[in-house]
Each structure stands twice: as structure tokens, then as C-alpha cells.
Amino acid sequence: MSDSLPPYYFRIRENGASVCRVDTENRQRRIELEEIASVNVKNGNIRPHGDRELSEPDLEAIRSWLGERRALLEARETDDILRTVDHLNLTSQWAQSKASDAQLEEVTDALLLAMHDLRSVLVRKKAERLSE
């Protein structure tokens, strides 16, 4: 563990995080995490924990983390979609060269419906962008 810990720890939750202040300045020299707030990534709400008042440095750290977290999640979302493109290409190769008739029978309808739905959405969205 490094000699200096960050002043805040963000415990990731489904829609955000619990924000803790990191405390090592105690008699036992243990690391203590004092929950000070919760933050919602989707709507940006910051709620103090209990009756706590958040200081301006607390709010600045939370807002900074929020911006970084949103950017990370957006980048991951784009990366997931690009991985899906790769996976579709691998699926095409599998269907053409390795899949048995039974395997194709098992997946064909689900794949065709999903691809038809995706194509419909993409074509509509592209038409909207071109007409703007």
C-alpha cells in the first residue's frame, strides 16, 4: 500500500457510489472509512449521509469524481458496442465454418430477430441524422 492514501474513497454502487472520507489519523493508525454522502451518477444528486454538512472540498471532490465516472462509463459503453461488432463478425465466421445444423437451428431465429430490430433502429436513426 502506498504511503499516502487519497482523501476520499468511492464505493461503486449500481447507480452511483457511497462517498467515504479516508481517515488514518487515529490512535490505532488504522484506515477508517467514514461515509459522508451518496451520489447518483445518472441524475447527479449528491445526498449527505445522515445530518452531515458537506464542505466545499467534499463537494468539489464528489463533482470531480462524478465527471470522471460519467466519462468512464460512456467510454465503456462505446467499447462494449465495438466489442459487439467484433462478436457479430466472429458469429458470422462460426455460422459459416463451424456451426452444425442443430446449432444453427437453435440460434437462427433469435439472431435474425435481434439483427432485424437493430437494423431498423440504426436505419431510422441514420435517416433522422441525415434529415437534420
Q: Is the pTM of this model over 0.85?
A: no
Strand partners, 48: 37
Buried b (16+ CB within 10 A) or exposed e, 2-13: eeeeeebbbeee
- In the sheet that holds 32-40, the strands lie side by side as 8-13, 16-23, 32-40, 46-48
Mean of per-residue pLDDT scores for the chain: 94
Please report where in the chains the cell 463451424 appears, as a residue.
98
pLDDT tens figures, 44-87 = 999 999 999 999 999 999 999 999 999 999 999 999 999 999 99
Could you tell me the CA-to-CA distances from 60 to 66, 91, 130 in Å, in that order?
Answer: 10, 46, 40
Q: What does the pLDDT read at residue 29?
A: 73
Taking the domains of the chain in order of start, what are their residue ranges?
1-79
Q: What does the pLDDT read at residue 90?
A: 98
| Separation of alpha carbons 117 and 127, rounded Å | 16
